[in-house]
Amino acid sequence: MAHTDAAAYSARYWIVPVVRAVLAFLPAIAITFIPDHSADFGLLVFGCWALVSGVVLGALALRTLSGLARTLFVVNGIVSAVAGLLALSFQGAGLPLYLYLVSVWAAITGFVELYAGIRERARSTRAAGARRSDARPSVARDWITGGALTAIFAIAYLLLPPNAVVSVGLLGAYLVILGVYLAIAGFSLKWDGARVTPETEEVV
């Protein structure tokens, strides 16, 4: 039953983007309402967020994903956690480290998530004749968008002139945009799964 499989996958995975959204909003709020936009503050905020979100993302990937997708997101979780630890360990190192650390983190994790989404979309397309779960194309689209957004964020850090206020503010803007998108994506998955009822299941 194709719709039953879609509902089960949505019910299992929708919480991941919602949790990621909540974790993104917290540092975005701190950056918005705390006037200190120094590089040291940026390292502190990024370090705390990357460490926590990396551990949470890795744990959720182990529980909700399988195969190569699980491996890729566990890798992203590890990269984020390590970047967070480095930011917290070298807090006070100044703007050059902040820019380097955040841009490298964004480039790696953005590429990995983008690759995961492209790969999942290709698998869904190849398996269309087998009536693959309707939830998978939505997840692939969300990964592609999230990965592309993070990769663009990395490029912006490389192109902008070194300025702590602008760089930390850009981190806050990125987290707000990412959080809004992930929240919409997560609840869309949940509602799509909830709309599938036994009466609407399709036997294949």
Give the right CATH number for 2-197 from 2.40.128, 1.10.3470, 1.25.40, 3.40.630. Answer: 1.25.40
Domain ranges of the chain: 2-197
For 150, phi and psi rounded to 5 degrees?
Answer: -70, -40
The reported pTM is 0.86
What pLDDT digit, counting tens, does each position of 121-152 carry? 888 776 655 454 455 667 889 999 999 999 99
What pLDDT digit, counting tens, does each position of 55-107 carry? 999 999 999 888 899 999 999 999 999 999 999 999 888 899 999 999 999 99
